[in-house]
Amino acid sequence: MTDSSETLSNLLHEQRRFEPPRDFTASANVGAATYEQSEADRLVFWAEQAQRLQWESPWSEVLQWRPPFAKWFVGGTLNASVNCVDRHVAAGHGEQVAIHFEGEPGDTRTITYAELLEQVCRAANALTELGIEKGDRVAIYLPMIPEAVVAMLACARIGAPHSVVFGGFSSQALYDRIVDAEAKLVITSDGGYRRGAPSALKPAVDEALAKGRTTVEHVLVVVRTGQEIDWVDGRDVRWAEALERQPAKHEAPAHDAEHPLYILYTSGTTGKPKGILHTTGGYLTQVSYTHHAVFDLKPDSDVYWCAADIGWVTGHSYIVYGPLSNRATVVMYEGTPDTPHRGRWWELIAKYRVSILYCAPTAIRTFMKWGSDIPAQHDLSSLRLLGSVGEPINPEAWIWYRKVIGGDRTPVVDTWWQTETGAIMISPLPGVTSTKPGSATRPLPGIGADVVDNEGRPVPNGGGGFLVLTEPWPSMLRGIWGDDARYTETYWSRFPEQGYYFAGDGAKKDEDGDLWLLGRVDDVMNVSGHRISTTEVESALVSHPRVAEAAVVGATDPTTGQAIVAFVILRGGGDSDEGELLVRQLRDHVATEIGPIAKPRQIMLVPELPKTRSGKIMRRLLRDVAENRQLGDVTTLADSSVMDLIQAKLPTAAAED
């Protein structure tokens, strides 16, 4: 571990610093003193944050910790839907816009908090009419349309945990999730708009339900595109009709703080997807607080856009529960960034005067690839804060994001968290933290995180190791649905003595103690005993002017343990004549940027990279290519033809010495 730590400290040589702008600090929601306050007494701190919510009855105990099982705000009761909607209307903000919806074809809807309340109430009544009771699970399989938000809040209102399944998942994946959660109802739509054309969703539900016996009694169908769909009488119900006949009011019951709010499936390294369980009081406390602190939301003036899909945890926490509990005006966009043109995001930012943007580094790198001239054609002056999430952000992308999108004036917050953590855990505070491109900096107030070695000992500054969470936190997963043993085994068995939560990520502490997330532990390579992050090599490659995007994997090597293999997309397309020369230059470039040990054994010039529908690069498949293996499962790829393209390119583009 010592060796690798030293290597890492040599590798990380990013020196640029960005102080928070003075005027930002002056009016920031959260100041530097918060860290001390939270350190003085963590539980008092979280109890204060919980007071930002409306509780129906008080808790008797802030935290009951029987490792690894936590209960927060024991005995307290509240309603998440009331916190996200009713209380804002009651406080006189009914006319404020809750959602600016933009459909891919350009249709728009503006929904005020008062209108959202009415929709949620009608939907809650409709769910009740369909026999959904407190505790029943509801699967939601919808495109990015406002009904998804309404459906989630209606479920929360009546205490029926939702299980949102990303609309890009197949019928098989949907079936597996419906079966595991034993869902009683599926909420879906006929389809949505994708890349300029209607795409279908309902057929996948029909297919899923035909795969075997399920507990589903009804399918509630939103009409979005008007396309022809099959209809099962008695089972299928139209959303609009079901809501129309309901009263516009619904008395929200209070739920226990530990009442399940939702299940969200996420893939583990092995086995079937895990149903991550989140409950009500602690989850809402932390998403609300982190949204307030990290995004500095000013409800009266900000327009906030989280460009994630509602099918992922980012959408749950930072499109729905965090922002709406803080009375944000949110932008919701149905489509892809390149439809009908590659300036669509920037057009939307100008149109709605978006002031806060939250997205993933993959998107940022894609925009870089498309060229800075595209955003330059739009008025982005409304932006005042930029956020990044989901994967390590390489310094090049961070700087591009700040400069080209943020006009070199906006703070950038790189936020680390997971489906399991429910809310942001490690991030700068935009009015407080001096940021470094590529570093998520430090744990938020009230959060305990550290980097430890194999034995669970904290590494000194300059050292690298495993990221762990050292204290329970309010929005922590309460378990894996129906599998307590797997919960304990996956997250709590790596460092049982210390009782740390094992995040599965590698990280480094720099000389200031700031944290650099290095990606999943399985994506950290070990070359001749040196620990090198795939991300770092990628970052080095991307800093070369000819490189648009890069993905690096560790391939098994008989001599060095692992060897670095890079897949590179060239800016402006590649030319096979220049291939060999360029590959040599790129290897040298990496050696110059990081050191000779990081020099890729092999660089393959490819036209595309394999990505999941959520935009994550599927390194597993690249590793298969790098190790000359037959390709593994390609069904989760957004575009399965990508692998054919890559393999077709290989014989001429690979170089080795």
Total residues contacting ligand WTA by CB under 6 A comes to 21
We find the least distance from the C-beta atom of residue 148 to ligand WTA, in angstroms, to be: 18
Q: Measuring CA to CA, how many Å separate 100 from each of 112, 152, 333, 467?
A: 9, 17, 8, 38
With CB under 6 A as the contact rule, the residue among 415, 533, 539, 602 that binds ligand WTA is: 415
We find the least distance from the C-beta atom of residue 85 to ligand WTA, in angstroms, to be: 24
With CB under 6 A as the contact rule, the residue among 14, 296, 391, 396 that binds ligand WTA is: 391
Smaller CB separation from ligand WTA, 302 or 309: 309
d(CA 19, CA 14): 15
Is residue 9 near ligand WTA by the rule CB under 6 A? Answer: no
Contact range with ligand WTA by CB under 6 A, out of 106-114, 227-235, 501-509, 551-559: 501-509
- Residues contacting residue 139 through CB under 8 Å, at least 6 positions apart: 162, 163, 164, 165, 174, 177, 178, 181, 183, 185, 186, 187, 216
Smaller CB separation from ligand WTA, 193 or 481: 481
- The site map against ligand WTA for 174-213 (x = CB under 6 A) is ----------------------------------------
H-run or E-run covering 180: helix 171-181
With CB under 6 A as the contact rule, the residue among 191, 281, 390, 479 that binds ligand WTA is: 390
Q: Are strands 524-527 and 330-333 parallel, antiparallel or unpaired?
A: unpaired
Is residue 416 near ligand WTA by the rule CB under 6 A? Answer: yes
* Per-residue tokens: 376: 């330059």
We find the least distance from the C-beta atom of residue 416 to ligand WTA, in angstroms, to be: 4
We find the least distance from the C-beta atom of residue 518 to ligand WTA, in angstroms, to be: 8
With CB under 6 A as the contact rule, the residue among 326, 418, 490, 602 that binds ligand WTA is: 418
- The site map against ligand WTA for 439-468 (x = CB under 6 A) is -x----------------------------
Smaller CB separation from ligand WTA, 392 or 395: 392
d(CA 384, CA 409): 7
Give the residue from 250, 259, 204, 80 showing the smallest Cα distance to 153. Answer: 80
d(CA 319, CA 301): 17
Q: Which of residues 290-349 bind ligand WTA (CB under 6 A)?
A: 312-314
Give the residue from 119, 102, 95 showing the smallest Cα distance to 332. Answer: 102
Is residue 266 near ligand WTA by the rule CB under 6 A? Answer: yes
Q: Which of residues 41-100 bind ligand WTA (CB under 6 A)?
A: none
Smaller CB separation from ligand WTA, 89 or 399: 399
Smaller CB separation from ligand WTA, 83 or 535: 535
Q: Which of residues 503-542 bind ligand WTA (CB under 6 A)?
A: 503-505, 517, 519-520
With CB under 6 A as the contact rule, the residue among 222, 252, 389, 541 that binds ligand WTA is: 389
User: Could you tell me which residues are beta bridge partners of residue 617?
Assistant: 611
We find the least distance from the C-beta atom of residue 316 to ligand WTA, in angstroms, to be: 10
**Ramachandran category for residue 617: left, alpha or beta (phi over 0 → left; psi -120 to 50 → alpha):** beta
Give the 3-state secondary structure percentages of the chain, helix then strand then coil, rounded to 5: 35, 25, 40
Q: Could you give the dihedral angle defined by the CA atoms of residues 59, 65, 66 and 70, in that order, rounded to the nearest 10 degrees?
A: 70
Contact range with ligand WTA by CB under 6 A, out of 374-382, 390-398, 448-456, 579-587: 390-398
d(CA 101, CA 112): 11
Smaller CB separation from ligand WTA, 261 or 389: 389
Taking the CB of residue 391, how many other CB atoms lie within 10 A of it? 19
H-run or E-run covering 68: none
Is residue 112 near ligand WTA by the rule CB under 6 A? Answer: no
Provide the residue count of the chain: 657
- The site map against ligand WTA for 395-414 (x = CB under 6 A) is -------------------x
We find the least distance from the C-beta atom of residue 221 to ligand WTA, in angstroms, to be: 28
We find the least distance from the C-beta atom of residue 392 to ligand WTA, in angstroms, to be: 4
Q: Please provide the distance, in angstroms rounded to a whole number, between the alpha carbons at the two ends of the chain.
A: 29
We find the least distance from the C-beta atom of residue 196 to ligand WTA, in angstroms, to be: 28
Smaller CB separation from ligand WTA, 372 or 493: 493
We find the least distance from the C-beta atom of residue 438 to ligand WTA, in angstroms, to be: 9
User: Could you tell me which residues are beta bridge partners of residue 222?
Assistant: 189
d(CA 193, CA 647): 31
Query: Is the Cβ–Cβ distance between 474 and 285 less than 8 Å?
Result: yes
SS3 readout for 440-470: CECECCCCCEEEECCCCCECCCCCEEEEEEC
Smaller CB separation from ligand WTA, 239 or 417: 417
We find the least distance from the C-beta atom of residue 469 to ligand WTA, in angstroms, to be: 11
Is residue 12 near ligand WTA by the rule CB under 6 A? Answer: no
CA angle (524 as vertex; 306, 528 as ends), nearest 5 = 160
Q: How would DSSP label each residue in 313-377?
A: HHHIIIIIIHHHHTT--EEEE-S-TTSS-TTHHHHHHHHHT--EEEE-HHHHHHHHHH-THHHHT
Query: Is the Cβ–Cβ distance between 303 and 348 less than 8 Å?
Result: no
Smaller CB separation from ligand WTA, 119 or 285: 285
* Per-residue tokens: 543: 């800093």
We find the least distance from the C-beta atom of residue 51 to ligand WTA, in angstroms, to be: 26
Smaller CB separation from ligand WTA, 84 or 412: 412
Task: Mark 583-612 as b/e (b = at least 16 C-beta within 10 Å).
Answer: beebbebbeebbbebbbbbbbbbbebbbbe
Is residue 417 near ligand WTA by the rule CB under 6 A? Answer: yes
d(CA 128, CA 247): 12
Chain position carrying tokens 């406002």: 146
We find the least distance from the C-beta atom of residue 626 to ligand WTA, in angstroms, to be: 21
Is residue 258 near ligand WTA by the rule CB under 6 A? Answer: no
We find the least distance from the C-beta atom of residue 13 to ligand WTA, in angstroms, to be: 19
Contact range with ligand WTA by CB under 6 A, out of 23-31, 70-78, 207-215, 502-510: 502-510
With CB under 6 A as the contact rule, the residue among 419, 435, 534, 562 that binds ligand WTA is: 419
Chain residues binding ligand WTA by CB under 6 A are: 266, 312-314, 389-392, 414-419, 440, 503-505, 517, 519-520
